[in-house]
Amino acid sequence: MMLFFTMIITKRGVVDTDMKKVVLFDFFGVIGHELSPVWFRRHFADEVADSVKHRLVNPGDLGQISEDEMFANISAETGVAAEQIRREWMAMVSINEKLVEFIKNARKSYPVYLLSNALSGFLREILDKNSLWELFDGVFISAELHLAKPDPEFFRECLKKIGVPAAEVVMIDDNAKNLEGARSVGIDTILFRDNESFEKEFRKYYSV
């Protein structure tokens, strides 16, 4: 697939040069449902669940500790066996199939990349089991880059590897803070709430 053109040619014809050329998607909360925030709310009060989750999961997302170490740390705090926690998280995986079909159609005309805060092995297993690799021209996982959203450096590094200026990109994420990081480097953003509102917003930037 040719990545970048002066004009983009789609099945609907020529798209104006001010249209975006590359699409960036978050995974959890967008393509796949959230896992860890839901799980932590089952074990901690709502007012502390997010902070506990961040403290225990963020080092894994940044690749500062291994997946086994992260689940062991969660186990020590919750009393749930590390192996059981991982099984429970994997059993919670649910894919937004309607959005997957939308992405397959969009990718006929535009390069699509995945940018996710995640454990490397865990996310790769999800992509394998659900045959999702074909959706993307590239996958960027925070634990492998040792950078995570909303850090602007995460987005700069991904843009550098893709080889595209920020002005030609839109990032789709369900986390408003993550999108603040994207906008700080010049990327346009769409806050994902549901499929219907997303598709309407998407068409402001892309012809599908």
Structure tokens at 134: 């074909």
Type of residue found at 201: E
Homologous superfamily (CATH) for 8-33+94-202: HAD superfamily/HAD-like (3.40.50.1000)
Helical pair 195-202 and 97-106, crossing angle rounded to 10 deg: 20
Q: Residue 182: what are its φ and ψ, rounded to 5°?
A: -65, -45
Pairing mode, strands 13-15 and 8-10: antiparallel
- The pLDDT tens digits of the residues spanning 22-57 come to 999 999 999 999 999 999 999 999 999 999 999 999
Q: What is the DSSP string of 17-78?
A: TTS--EEEE-TBTTTB---HHHHHHHHS-HHHHHHHHHHHHHHHHTTSS-HHHHHHHHHHHH
- The pLDDT tens digits of the residues spanning 69-105 come to 999 999 999 999 999 999 999 999 999 999 999 999 9
Structure tokens at 54: 């961040």
- The pLDDT tens digits of the residues spanning 99-145 come to 999 999 999 999 999 999 999 999 999 999 999 999 999 999 999 99
Every domain of the chain and the residues it spans: 8-33+94-202, 36-91
- The pLDDT tens digits of the residues spanning 156-195 come to 999 999 999 999 999 999 999 999 999 999 999 999 999 9
